[in-house]
Structure 1
Amino acid sequence: MQKDITSLEALGIAIRDLIDTQELYQKLSQLSNNDVLKDRFMNLYYEEKKHTQLLKKKYKEMFPTVELILPESQIPKDVLNTKQIQKLSIKDLLQLAVDGHKRAREFYLDCAETVTDLSGKRMFRFLADMKFSHQMMLSAELEMLEKYPAYLEDVKGWEVETRFKTEK
């Protein structure tokens, strides 16, 4: 993180990141044909929404007289484009989400180091830990999909195992 970034700027960037991430998860959920994945994305959407509310509350506490002005989105426009998302595989989407959480975690850890307010430090560390938790969850989904390509498909993908049990 830049050495001269202020707590005000860090909070604005963090809020923007959470709003962008919410939008991405909502869109991924809407575009997903798999109910399990759809639910995973919506759960992440709701968690990011809670974190946004937490940061907005913290912003009002720290800067009660300063209007919240968010920076521009750092997510490339094509990433949120429905047609572009539909071209990506589930693996690519999961990898995109994992990479985003990794970058956000690093940013929050940097913010925790530079912010002087103790509650701000705790808040940024909490957010870094949550991003790491999401990163690990999505990494596990990605690993399952790589090991078991039928993981997110209907149970028909496992019929071979059922057939083995019935043959004598």
Structure 2
Amino acid sequence: MIAEGLTALEALGLAVRCEMDARALYQNLASRIDNDLLKERFLNLAQEEKRQQLLLEKKHREMFPEVELEIPPCQLPREVLEKTPGKELTIQEVLKTALEEVRRAREFYLDCAETTGDLSGKRMFRFLADMKFSHQMMLTAELEMLEKYPAYYEGPGSWEVETRLKAPRIKR
């Protein structure tokens, strides 16, 4: 539930921060993965977050044309975005953090949709909550793949052992 007394202006600032944090998480995940297909998935999610951020900024300009958008500080744990070797979290830990952030953002958007009196704002927050739910399902699937097939994230070279185990074809 969103904080009592949170204004529409503050909610928009928090929503923009949610999108910025999610984008940073997806870019971080993409930078850690050798598998080109997965890297592309996370970069696409980062682009979606940027589009959602722009949507929120546009809504802010429409609702508060005279007020500068104030964005709160990053809410992500510093170690999630850490690039120093040895201090980095595992892909699994970053995925779990991303999943938790997406869940929190979705709940926040659902609460905003319930409390806002503006119909277009209500529709926008519901749309964003639905987008977060689709991201949640995708991240859950990726986490399950990582747990079942850790080599999946290491790129095509990680599967070479299986290809060597195949029996050679005999020409007849």
TM-score range, shorter chain: 0.7 to 0.9
SS for the counterpart of 1:11 is helix
Q: Which runs of 4+ in 1 moved over 3 A?
A: 158-168
Aligned-residue RMSD, C-alpha: 2.2
Distance 2:54 2:74 in 1: 18
Q: Structure 1: any 5+ residue segments left out of the alignment?
A: none
Q: Which moved more, 1:92-101 or 1:72-81?
A: 72-81
Query: What residue is the counterpart of 1:93 in the other structure?
Result: 94
Query: What residue is the counterpart of 1:119 in the other structure?
Result: 120
Matched, 1:38 2:39: yes
Q: Structure 2: any 5+ residue segments left out of the alignment?
A: none
SS for the counterpart of 2:152 is coil
With normalisation by structure 2, the TM-score equals 0.86
Query: What residue is the counterpart of 1:160 in the other structure?
Result: 162
- Contact 1:29/1:37 (<8 A) preserved: yes
Query: What residue is the counterpart of 1:106 in the other structure?
Result: 107
Distance 2:137 2:86 in 1: 22
Query: What residue is the counterpart of 1:2 in the other structure?
Result: 3
SS for the counterpart of 1:133 is helix
Residue identity in the other structure for 1:38 = K
Aligned length: 168
CA displacement at 1:155 relative to structure 2: 5.3
With normalisation by structure 1, the TM-score equals 0.88
